[in-house]
Amino acid sequence: MSLEVALEKKLKGFSLDLAFQVHSGCLGILGASGCGKSMTLKSIAGIVRPDRGRIVLHDRVLLDTDKRIDLPPQKRKVGYLFQNYALFPNMTVEENVGIGLRLSRQEKEPVVRQMISHFRLDGLEQRYPWQLSGGQQQRVALARILAYHPDVLLLDEPFSALDAYLKEELQMELARLLREYDGLAILVTHNRDEVYKLCGNLMTIHQGRMISFGDTRETFHNPVHPQVARLTGCKNLSRAQAVGENQVRALDWGVTLQTAQPIPPKLTHIGIRAHDFYPVGEQENVINPIPLLTPEVSEAPFEWNVIFKADPSLGDGGQIWWKLTKDIWSAYLQHPPTRLAVKPEHILLLSEKTGNPPV
């Protein structure tokens, strides 16, 4: 099974221009709101038509604008899970699950019963969508889609309408579903935790263009591009210049840092994740100390977010964001550290000039 996608479409403020392939498992598409993620899914599903494009699913051409091929959505064998699940409000759970099946009533009944059992909806058959929880609505929508065995499952921000306490449980349910599903899946989100948990491969896009494509964990470990680093949760970015084979000047923080990897020739930025700093005393002799000014502190339920200003006399006075557990920060409540340090292997080397990523 494979899916090949090439799309061009003029959007407000920018153009969607993507080409990628999916060969197995679940591909995550990560990007900020309004970057073209949902439009990509709608183009694959046939809900919208790109200005130009070609979509091939397992040697079956779904779209080829040059050859004037454009299969309607019901003939593409593509299942689309909308953000709000799009259940029919005047239909029961049982009716919603079976609505897409082009079968006789006698043939439809065992299929619907099987899907209701598989998605743990027993006892809810005669309820209407407004009588269901968010998690139950999601399961009904997935049961309806998978009842007709699509070759591709498209998931458009499937957790965005849910309360925070439901998301963890439903992410685990969806992970189980994807392991059992023998087709291809694409998950669109702006949430890095969702793609990390659910997707083996990850594509990041920015204003309609792909900026990275590859193994999800490798992308988080080595994001390469500043925008990919931001999308994967890196809060500390600085413009940078190489000053040696393994030395870089962080221009926004006014410090020179040692790196574990040689500096790439196209380096434009460095990144440091907020949990990779550690505090050091004034007189400690350590690698990569960064002088700081008085912090602003923000308390979360289980951690502290501490935002320092880099010393403006050394550089451009950029911010340093430090995230740490409450038990560690309690030792610094009265006397916050005036220096943080970072290990050379935790410095991300980034470039805005990486060229087109491989697919």
Out of 160, 186, 221, pick the residue that ends a domain.
221
Place of tokens 């439009």: 39
191: in domain: yes
Residues 6+ apart with CB under 8 A from 296: 306, 307
The distance of Cα 47 from the centroid of its chain, to the nearest Å, equals 22
247 with 195, same domain: the answer is: no
Q: Do the beta carbons of residue 113 and residue 147 sit within 8 Å?
A: no
Range of the domain at 118: 3-221
The distance of Cα 215 from the centroid of its chain, to the nearest Å, equals 13
129 with 173, same domain: the answer is: yes
First-last CA distance in the chain: 16
35 with 173, same domain: the answer is: yes
Out of 189, 221, 253, pick the residue that ends a domain.
221
- 159 is written with which tokens? 């957790």
The 10s digit of each residue's pLDDT in 105-121 is 888 899 999 999 988 89
Taking all residues of the chain, what is their mean pLDDT, rounded to a whole number?
Answer: 90
111 with 244, same domain: the answer is: no
Q: Tell me the CB-side half-sphere exposure of residue 126, using CA atoms within 13 A.
A: 1
Burial group, residue 68, by CB count within 10 angstroms (0-12, 13-18, 19+)? exposed
358: in domain: no
The 10s digit of each residue's pLDDT in 185-218 is 999 998 899 999 999 999 999 999 999 999 999 9
182 with 246, same domain: the answer is: no
214 with 294, same domain: the answer is: no
- Cα–Cα distance for residue pair 13/103, rounded to 1 Å: 45
Residue of 49, 45, 50, 30 whose CA lies nearest to 157: 30
Lowest-confidence range among 25-34, 169-178, 288-297? Answer: 169-178
162 with 283, same domain: the answer is: no
